[in-house]
Amino acid sequence: MKRIATACSTNKSTLLAIGEVRAQIGTMNTKMVVFFASSIHEPEAVSRTMRDAFPGALVVGCSTAGEIVTGKMLKESIVAMAFSPEAVEDVALGVVSEVGKGPVAQKIGDVFAGFEKHYGRKMEELDFSKYVGIILIDGLSAAEERVMDKIGDLTNVLFVGGSAGDDLKFARTYVYANGKAYTDAAILLLLKPAVGFDILKTQSFRTTGKKLVATEVVEASREVISFNDKPAALAYAEALGTTVEDAANQFMSHPLGLLAGEEIFVRSPQQVLDGKMVFFCNVLEGMELSILSSTDIVADTRNAIKAKNGRQGSIAGIVNFHCILRTLELEKDNLTEAYGNVFSGVPTVGFSTYGEEYLGHINQTATMLLLR
Amino acid sequence: MPGQIKTMIDKIIAQRSGGNVTLINTTKTKLLLKGIDPDKFVWNSPDDQAIITKLRTLATELRVTL
């Protein structure tokens, strides 16, 4: 009896691709399906057809900037993971609409009220070791920090997930739930795994010992005006011993990190703009950030999974929220096959994100839900 | 009297975590992501009113009574 099954298709026809996915999943009692689809697939069609392919199951997903499935990194594909009730005992779904507009507290409160009704317990009382959340959010909404902040206020249950992509077109991203396609929205799932779960956040960086303090920021636009009371790009360039003109060339290998003890929460610079630095996630005024230096993504990820496997039982399935910046780095170094191989031994599904969610909004990580 | 910030941070962490080690760490990280690094403040840290005000706001957000 299958507890977790994965499938993929690179067929350009949405209908045929989903037919192949459905056939590969085969016969199983399916409680939930999580799928990730390239933006080549029309949003309404892919969501509706996936729902129709798995009647009776809760079906959710999002658009991507690349897909991951057991043993492979793919492009222009659909990947899916099906969960039986022996893997996911129970699941509740909520959609937060218009996340990019105005306050989100009430909207998340409404979704959580639905979760409380479903499980018969208050979110603040749920046992964080027995329940886990998944979040899929519009990757162009710039709302991730506000949403994750509010979730963290309301519950100790951890939510992990990713920001939807659109194959680097940066035009529109979608999240999918039960046959519908949403933009400017977040999908929240509250799962009760049947056996157990773990969360793995890994990033391939070490700290350099060089620090920058954000002395002036514009939170709304994710801009840092100044570090250490100097124009941000100048301070960053000086710390790396390079020029402002060369600063952007250093972003991929030298992002900044907020340190929680030894745990790194990466803040990736996006561009230099009139001496300011624009980031892919928020930097708050007064934050002390460490300049990071990149290490080996493939080896680090393999070691991180190995360290988790066997601890509290073997891993039965992985949902991998994998930053597009890591994917680009792997592509540059011709390492996508090697990275895919890291996941050859465990049923895996994932996608290249426009950001990952774990306690907050982060960059350049692989943030994974591991089901036992 | 110095130490007010450390007292407030410890109360927030204690109430949110109930002493659970995992929740102590996640609560500290939540505070860090909200702009307050718990490890930066000790018993003789001066009572910076701006930080005290911010912590009162964060405590309300986190549903903690100070």
Chain A, nearest residue to B23 by Cα: A156
- The verdict on a CB contact (< 8 Å) between A284 and B29 is no
| DSSP class of A313 | B
Chain A, nearest residue to B58 by Cα: A153
Q: Which of B22, B25, B35 minimises the CB distance to A284?
A: B35
On whether the CB atoms of residues B6 and B45 are closer than 8 A, the answer is yes
Name the B residues in 18-47 with CB < 8 Å from any A CB. 22-23, 25-26, 28-30, 32-35, 37, 39
Residue type, A222: R
Q: Which of A108, A156, A215, A267 to mutate to test the interface with B (most CBs of B within 10 A)?
A: A156
ipTM of the complex: 0.94
Which residues of chain A are within 8 Å of residue B29 when distances are taken between CB atoms? Answer: 260, 263, 265, 359-360
Average pLDDT score over residue span A116-132:
96
Which residue from B16, B25, B28, B24 is spatially nearest to B65, judged by alpha carbons?
Answer: B16
Q: How confident is the model at residue A51 (pLDDT cuts 50, 70, 90)?
A: very high
Chain B, nearest residue to A261 by Cα: B39
On whether the CB atoms of residues A12 and A77 are closer than 8 A, the answer is no
Q: Which residues contact A67 (CB under 8 A, 6 or more apart)?
A: A8, A36, A37, A38, A73, A74, A75, A77, A78, A79, A350, A351, A352
Cα dihedral angle (B31, B32, B36, B42), rounded to 10 degrees?
100
Which residues of chain A are within 8 Å of residue B25 when distances are taken between CB atoms? Answer: 260-261
Q: Which of B16, B28, B35 minimises the CB distance to A287?
A: B35
Give the pLDDT confidence score for residue B66 in this predicted structure: 87
Give the pLDDT confidence score for residue A233 in this predicted structure: 98
The distance of B59 to chain A (nearest Cα, Å) reads: 9
Which residue from A43, A46, A16, A42 is spatially nearest to A33, judged by alpha carbons?
Answer: A46
- The verdict on a CB contact (< 8 Å) between A359 and B30 is yes
- Apex CA A44: angle with CA A177 and CA A65, to 5°? 80
Q: Which of B28, B32, B62 minimises the CB distance to A153?
A: B62
Note the pLDDT tens digit of each residue in A188-201.
999 999 999 999 99
The verdict on A21 touching B (C-beta cutoff 8 Å) is no
Give the pLDDT confidence score for residue A312 in this predicted structure: 62
Residue type, A43: P
Q: Which of B29, B48, B54, B58 to mutate to test the interface with A (most CBs of A within 10 A)?
A: B29
CA–CA dist A236, A243 (Å, integer)? 9
Note the pLDDT tens digit of each residue in A231-280.
999 999 999 999 999 999 999 999 999 999 999 999 999 999 999 999 99
Q: Which of B28, B32, B34, B39 to mutate to test the interface with A (most CBs of A within 10 A)?
A: B32
- The verdict on a CB contact (< 8 Å) between B23 and A156 is yes
The distance of B11 to chain A (nearest Cα, Å) reads: 15
CA–CA dist B66, B7 (Å, integer)? 9
Structure-block tokens of residue A199: 């969360």
- The verdict on a CB contact (< 8 Å) between A152 and B30 is yes
Give the pLDDT confidence score for residue A139 in this predicted structure: 97
On whether the CB atoms of residues A349 and A21 are closer than 8 A, the answer is no
Note the pLDDT tens digit of each residue in B8-64.
999 999 999 999 999 999 999 999 999 999 999 999 999 999 999 999 999 999 999
The overall average pLDDT reported for chain A is 96
Note the pLDDT tens digit of each residue in A69-123.
999 999 999 999 999 999 999 999 999 999 998 899 999 999 999 999 999 999 9
